[in-house]
Amino acid sequence: MEYNELLEKAKLASEKAYAPYSKFKVGACVLTENDKIYTGCNFENSSFGLTICAERNAIGSAIADGEQKIKAVAIYSPNTKHCYPCGACRQVMCEFVSHHGLDIITEAENGLDIKNFNEIFPEGFRL
């Protein structure tokens, strides 16, 4: 699947986000090593620590379906370009990086911005 399509699916997912407190809607689309696609959106809670990010929502769906290796994550927010994952999402992604690596796809001013996961999260924690 082309990365433009992944970002478009992330954009559609962002429309379903529940963000009444921050007003910062995010959608994510995960592409697994087996070429399966999963989307997720953020959903907030009045107890802020219980908020779930779009990326972890999509990854959780992939894991629940038996997938364990992720090769790309597209992240979109109507609030900003270059919507990179938070630290918690980066650590979760670190757990499930594909043998081929992991690309992070965001919207840029003129198309896509694609970064290798290690560029945005070098030396991630692993047991």
Q: What is the pLDDT of residues 19-37, one digit of tens each?
A: 999 999 999 999 999 999 9
Sheet holding 111-116, edge to edge: 37-41, 27-32, 70-76, 103-108, 111-116
55 is catalytic: yes
DSSP code, position 50: G
Q: Which one is catalytic: 44, 55, 67, 107?
A: 55
Q: What is the CATH number of domain 3-120?
A: 3.40.140.10
Q: What confidence tens digit (pLDDT) does each residue in 85-111 have?
A: 999 999 999 999 988 899 999 999 999
